Every structure is written in C-alpha cells, then in structure tokens.
Amino acid sequence: MESIKLDITKATQFLNPGTIEAYAPQVAAAQVALEEGTCAGNDFLGWLHLPSSITTAFLTEIENVADTLRKKCEVIVVAGIGGSYLGARAVIEGLNNSFAWLIKDKKNPTILFAGNNIGEDYLSELTTYLKDKKFGVINISKSGTTTETALAFRLLKKQCEDQFGKEFSKDVIVAITDKKKGAARITATQEGYKSFVIPDNVGGRFSVLTPVGLLPIAVAGFDIKALVEGAKDMEKETGTDVPFANNIAARYAAVRQGLYAQAGKKIEIVANFQPKLHYFAEWWKQLYGESEGKDHKGIFPTACDFTTDLHSMGQWIQEGERSIFETIISVEQPNSTLLFPHDNENLDGLNFLEGKRVDEVNKMAELGTRLAHVDGGVPNIRVSVPTLNEYYLGQLIYFFEKACGISGLIMDINPFNQPGVEAYKKNMFALLNKPGYEAESKAIQERLTSDK
C-alpha cells in the first residue's frame, strides 16, 4: 500500500536555509518524551500506541453491535460534542455518498448528530423528524453531564422509550462512557444498555480510534479494520526509529514551528479541494486549537473548502495580512469518473475541456491556487492522500495526531489538557443558577448590574 506524502518545499522557501533541520534535536526530544511519558500531560498518552494495541476481537465486538443497530434502526443519532463526535463525522462524511441523507439505503441507517449545540430549533426539528422513524442513539460522554450532550440525550431517550418502549430502547441505545463513574455510566448500568469504555488516558480530540469513533463509523457501514490498519502503519512510519528526513509527522511539526517562530505566521489554514473533507478539517481544528492554544501561545487553526471559499476568502488569503500559511490536503484520485461533455453552442466557452475529467480541472485549480498564494506570500504545505478510503483516512488521522503532540511539546506547552474550555461553562451555570454555583451566580449578577 502507498502512504500519504508531505511536500514542504513551498513552505521552507519562506525560512532561512537549514531551519527545518535545526529543529531535528527538539523533535527527537519531543518524541522521546512522548515515548517515555516524561512530558506534560503524560497521563493522556493512550493515543500514541493505540492503533497497534487494538485487537481483531475488539473490532469484531464493535462490528457486532453495529450490525444490531443497523438491523433494528433506520436512523442512528450520535449524541456527543467536540472530540466525542467530530472524528466519527469526519470519517463518515469523508467516505459517504455526498447525498446519503436523500438516499434510501436498506443496509445502513442514516447517521445524524446531536448534542453538539443548544439550538432549540435544531432539537425540535430533529425530534419531529424522528417521530415516524425507527431510531437508536449512541450516547458519547465520559461524564454524562456535558450540558449540550446531556440535554440532547435526555430528549432522545424519552422519545425512544415513548415511541418503542423501554425493552426495544434498551437494544438500540448504546453508551460510550467512563468505565466506572459518571452519570452516563450509572444510566447505562441501570437501563441495561450495551456500553463501551472511553479510555482514561485518551483525550476526546484523540479518541477517534476508540469506540467513540469506531462504533458510529461501523454503523455507517465502513471498514473500521482498514481504518485502524492505516493508523497502525502510520504509527510505524512516524516512530522514533524513523530518521527525521523520512518522518512526515516530525517534519510537519518542524515546519509549522519554523513558520510560527521565525516567519511570524500565526494562522494556519487547512484547505482541501474535496468537499467530502469539510468535517475532517473541523476535526483537525479542534485537535490543533485545543492542543496548542494555551499559555498565550499557539497557531490559530482555521479551514477553507476550495474552490468554494476562493470566491469568499480568496481575496483575503491572496492579499490580506501576511500572518497566514496553508496546509492543503490533496486527494490524488477521486473514486468516480466524470467527463466534460461537448456543447454545440459553447456559450460558456468550456468546449476546450471536452473529454477531460472534472478532477483534472480541479487539480489545475489546486496547483494554480497554490502557486498564486505562494506568489502572494503565503507559505504552502501539501499533504497528498492517494484516495479517500478507510485505510488512508486512518493514516491521515494518526499523522496529524502525532505531529500535534510533537508540535505542542516544541512550543513548550502541555498539548493534552484544555483548561480554558471550562470558563464559559462556569459563567453559563452561574447565569442559570445551577445548584452549587450560588456564589458565582451572585458575583456574575453584580457584575452584569455594574456593567449597565
């Protein structure tokens, strides 16, 4: 099998000669710290050798539960937020038919997502849609008390039981949660739900290769064994025994840090020319934003879908403030073939494309964009993927995870915690007068009164 490839030549030209190689000792030290567990956040390194530790028996167990859900349900709602849903959605939408939600698939249920917002209209419309559907729920929450997910699950659990009864609901609600503690664990035990464990040493944004991602992906009908195999091969290809010159995760981490520290590039745009990768970029944004954005440091991660966003963001990228660099995820070979037809009138002037594949036009748009942006002062990194399938998405997931760990340690921060995400929750609970937040509620009301 081929592997994904990394091209940094259009980024290193913005750096002093030898900059990337100068990072080799820091990269090596970061890799050793990860391997030996001597780095900050060492209690969340379970992802590091996760692919090689997953057994065939474990994957078969997940597939068996997925088969049960597929047989019993026409819709499965995945309830989770952040790392509890983005990885699964990235893979499912990366592999699915773009119009899957319109297609009646007798083999695989429609996968919907909830618990990732507090939109009353969204939840109302979801529950209305499910009223005449045989549906199940995969509830993904370590604590069971994350507001967005707990709210959605309470609604979905009640609706499922009201429509089908508790006995049927027990078979179509699955919990992915903590091994021993938390509200979701207690509920799963009391109700008799099938459950899988979120490992204590794997943070949410690194959890796509745990049941958090694997079960929804399997329910959608995709090959989780191939996904894990791709990640396992990338684990080997980015190990400490792989020379720096050949280690794509190490080199990606190094070039990012070089652009950040030496060239003053504070924003990284991940872009693709394949619409199916939209949610992969959303997963990537959380991975890097939550890992690096702390201690008043960090490259701001954002994403664009090209060529679509070239008609909205292209002007800024080409001629705006030169604080950005790009990482392009390029899919070498699409899974379909579609040729441009001939048109007798040729009013659009496109007959010169007659007989060409649509992807050939797309590839020239990609190359032209990269050249234009480099000419405009935007360093450009290219990650090429042979084709979109489970194996290569597995490779891509582990590649970005490993590079993220290395990059964060080079930056001298803890890449595996996320202390900042609690601030809004404390304010929200205080404003809602949640029991236990009386002092905070009083303080925030006084603050709001004084601000008027």
Specify the pairing of strand 300-305 against strand 267-272. Answer: parallel
The Cα–Cα gap between 299 and 318 comes to 19
Determine whether 290 is an active site residue.
yes
> 380 to each of 265, 269, 327, how far by Cα in Å?
12, 10, 6
From the candidates 290, 326, 390, 401, give the one annotated as an active-site residue. Answer: 290
Q: Which of 425, 426, 442, 446 is catalytic?
A: 425
Q: Between the CA of residue 202 and those of 41, 42, 48, 50, 58, what are the distances in Å? A: 11, 10, 9, 9, 17
Catalytic residue, chosen from 311, 321, 345, 452, is 311
Handedness of CA 206, 208, 212, 214 (dihedral sign): negative
The rounded distance, in Å, linking the Cα atoms of 84 and 203 is 10
CA distances from 359 to 271, 310, 314, 331, 340 (A): 17, 17, 20, 10, 10
The answer to whether residue 342 is catalytic is no
Residue 339: DSSP 8-state:
B
Q: What are the angstrom distances between the C-alpha of 362 and each of 95, 353, 426?
A: 19, 12, 46
**452 is known as an active-site residue:** no
415, 23 Cβ separation under 8 angstroms: no
Would you list the DSSP string of 274-314?
-GGGHHHHHHHHHHHHHHH--TT--PEEEEEETTGGGGTTH
How far apart (Å, rounded) are the C-alpha atoms in residues 195 and 210?
Answer: 13
Q: Which two tokens stand for residue 367?
A: 């190359």
Q: Which amino acids are annotated catalytic?
A: 290, 311, 425
